[in-house]
Amino acid sequence: MKNLYVKFIVITIGMILLSFIMAFIISNAYYQQKLKPYNDDKNTKVALDIAAFAEEHPEIGVQEYLKSISRVGYRICLIDNGGHRTYFGEPFRDKSLSHSVQQQVLEGHIFHGMLHFPKQTFVTGFFADELRNTIGVPLKANGSTYALFIRPDIEFLFNEMHILFAWILAIAIFLTIVMVLIYTRYLVKPISNMTKATKSLAGGDFQVKLDSTRHDELGELSRNFMRMAEKLAQMEDMRKEFISNISHDIQSPLSNIKGYTNLLDTESISKEERNQYISIINNEITRLSTLTKQLLLLASLDRNKEIMKEKPFHLGKQLKELVRNHQWAISEKEIMLSYSLPDLEIVADPSLLNTVWDNLLSNAIKYNKPNGSIEISIEEKEETVIVRLADTGIGMTEAELDRIFDRFYRADQARTRTVEGTGLGLSIVKTIIDLHGGTIQVISKENEGTTFVVELPR
Ligand SMILES: Nc1ncnc2c1ncn2[C@@H]1O[C@H](COP(=O)(O)OP(=O)(O)OP(=O)(O)O)[C@@H](O)[C@H]1O
Ligand SMILES: [Mg+2]
C-alpha cells in the first residue's frame, strides 16, 4: 500500500470490520452467559402455560389449540405415547431427537433443549430451528399423555422492525464508508500537494502555492512550508547577489590596475604622474587585499564555529588601544572622541572582538561629519557587558538600517561613494557577535548620528 489515501481507507474499513467482530464476540458471550438461560426459562413458562391450558380446556381439542398457537409464531412438535409425531407451524430444519428425551418428557420431566444446545456461535445457537433446540413439557389431555416440544419461530419473529433495523445498520455503514472516502481525500490532498511542492523546490522552482487557509496542523505545516520556500528563494537571491558583488568588487580594482600599468608603460609621462599612478595602483591592491581578507574571515566564520578561541582579557584596555591606533584618522577629520572605559575582564575571543570594535570605530569615523564626535562607553551588568559606540555622523534611514548587516550592502551610494568600503564590515561584526551569543542593536537618525549597542555575555 504505497498510497496514503488507500492506506487510510483500508485501515478505516478494517477498523469497522474489527469492531463488528469484537461486538459479535462480546454479545455472543453475553448471550451464552445471560440470555440463553433467560430465553430457556421464558420459553419453559410458555410451554408449561400451553400444556396447562390444554389440560384445563379439554373441550377445545389439543390439535386445534396447538395449530392456533403455532400461528402466532411457534414451531411445535407433539409426540404421543406411541411415539407418533404431529408438527404444527413451520417445519423444523432438523427433526432428530433422541428416544430417551421423548421418553423422559412423557414420564413427566421437562426438557431444556435451549439451555443445553451445543455452545456454538450466537447465530447457530439462537437461530437454529432444530427439534433439539426446544423446550419439552408433558401434556395430559383426553386421558392420554403427550410430549410437547416448542420453540419460537425466529423467521416469524424476525418481523418488519428487525428488517428496519438491519436497513438502518446497512445504510449507516455504507454512509460511513462513503464519508470516509470523501473526508480522506480532503485530509490527504494537502500532503500530496506538499509532496509536489517539495519536488518543485528540489527542481529549483521556489514559487510554491499551497492552501494555507486550514486551521489545523496541516494548515500550519503548509504555512511553514511556504515560509521555508520563501526563505530559500531569498537565500538563493542572496547567493546570486553575493557572487555578482564579489565579481564586481574584484573586477573593478583589477581593471583599474591594468589601466594604470598600461599608462605607466608610456614613456611621455612625468615623474609626478608616474608617482600618482603608482599610488593609485597601490591603493587598488590594498583594496583587493582587504576584500580577500574579509571574505576569508567570513568564509571561515561560516564554515566552522570552532574557530573561536575564548580566553579572559581586559576589554577596556583593548578598546583604548584601538582608539590609539585610529588616532591619526580621528584627528585628521577633526573629530572629538571621548570615552569612559573602566577596566573590565571578559571571556571571549580577543582577536575576533578586536575586528568588531575596529569595524564599528572605523565606520563611526568614516561616516562622521567634520567636527563631529564619537563616544565610547562600557557598562557592566550582572551577566553581560554592554559596549556603546555613538557618533554624530550622517546617520541612516529606516530602510537602510534594515539592510546594513547584509553582505556587501552599502547605504545610499551617493553619500558613501566617496568613502572606501566593501560593505562586508557589519556582516562580519554580526557574525562574530552571534558566535559569542551576544546581540547588536542600532539606533540611527539621518543627519544626526548613529549608536551601536553591543551586549556580550561575560
Ligand atoms: N556609523 C555609521 N553611520 C552611518 N552609516 C553607517 C555607519 N556604519 C555603517 N553605516 C552604513 O552601513 C553600510 C554598511 O557598513 P559596513 O561596515 O558593513 O560596510 P562599509 O563600511 O561600507 O565597508 P567595510 O566596512 O567593509 O569597509 C555602510 O556602507 C554605511 O552606509
Ligand atoms: Mg565598515
> 396 in ligand 1 pocket by Cβ < 6 Å?
yes
pLDDT digits (tens, 9 = 90+) for 148-166: 999 998 777 776 777 888 8
pLDDT bin (cut points 50, 70, 90) of residue 430 is: very high
What HEC string does 179-226 produce?
Answer: HHHHHHHHHHHHHHHHHHHHHHHHCCCCCCCCCCCCCCHHHHHHHHHH
Atom 25, ligand 1: which residue's CA is nearest? Answer: 425
Contact (Cβ atoms closer than 8 angstroms) between residue 137 and residue 57: no
By most ligand atoms within 8 Å of CB, the mutation choice from 287, 363, 401, 404 for ligand 1 is 363
Ligand 1 atom closest to Cα of residue 405: 18
Would you state the pLDDT for residue 189?
85
Q: What is the rounded average pLDDT of the residues 96-116?
A: 91
Please write down the HEC assignment for all residues of 31-62. Answer: HHHHHHHHHHHHHHHHHHHHHHHHHHCCCCCH
Q: Which residues pair with 94 in a beta bridge?
A: 130
* Shortest-distance atom of ligand 1 to CA 395: 4
Cell representation of residue 311: 580566553
Q: What is the rounded average pLDDT of the residues 218-241?
A: 88
Which amino acid does the sequence have at 368?
A: N
Residue nearest to atom 27 of ligand 1 (CA): 421
Task: Supply the pLDDT for residue 378.
Answer: 95
Distance CA 384, CA 438 (A): 9
Q: 449 and 385 in contact (C-beta within 8 Å)?
A: no
Q: Structural domains in the chain? A: 2-159 (3.30.450), 217-301 (1.10.287.130), 306-457 (3.30.565.10)
| pLDDT > 90 in the chain, percent | 47
122 pLDDT band (50/70/90 cuts)?
low
| Rounded-to-integer distance, Cα 211 and Cα 221, Å | 10
What pLDDT sits at residue 414?
59
Lowest mean pLDDT: which of 130-134, 207-211, 279-283? 207-211
In this prediction, residue 361 carries a pLDDT of 96
Residues in the chain, total: 458
pLDDT score at 170: 92
Lowest mean pLDDT among 179-183, 300-304, 424-428: 300-304
Mean pLDDT of the chain: 88
> Is pLDDT at 416 greater than 60 in this prediction?
no
Cβ of 416 below 6 Å from ligand 1 = yes
**Which tens digit of pLDDT belongs to each residue from 2-51?**
678 888 888 888 998 999 899 988 888 888 888 888 989 999 999 999 99
CA of 446, nearest ligand number: 1
**Residues near ion ligand 2 (Cβ under 5 Å):** 363, 425
**Top mutation candidate among 297, 359, 404 for ligand 1, by most atoms within 8 Å of CB:** 404
Check residue 327 and give its pLDDT: 92
pLDDT at residue 125 in the model: 67
Ligand 1 pocket check for 449: Cβ under 6 Å: no
Report whether residue 39 contacts ligand 1, using a CB cutoff of 6 Å.
no
Query: How much of the chain exceeds pLDDT 70, in percent?
Result: 96
- The per-residue DSSP string of 240-306 comes to HHHHHHHHHHHHHHHHHHHHHHHHHH-TT--HHHHHHHHHHHHHHHHHHHHHHHHHHHHHHHHH-GG
Angle 170-171-172 from CA coordinates, rounded to 5°? 90
Q: Are 365 and 330 spatial neighbours (Cβ–Cβ below 8 Å)?
A: yes
Instruction: Please determine, for residue 456, whether its predicted confidence score (pLDDT) is greater than 80.
Output: yes
Does pLDDT of 234 surpass 70? Answer: yes
Average pLDDT over residues 190-198: 88
Please report the pLDDT score of residue 413 as a whole number: 63
* DSSP letter assigned to residue 109: P
Burial class for 148, CB neighbours closer than 10 Å (0-12, 13-18, 19+): buried
pLDDT score of 36: 85
List, edge to edge, every strand of the sheet that includes 85-88. Answer: 85-88, 74-80, 144-152, 135-141, 111-112
Which residue of 249, 367, 415 sits with most ligand 1 atoms within 8 Å of its CB, as the best mutation to test the pocket? 367
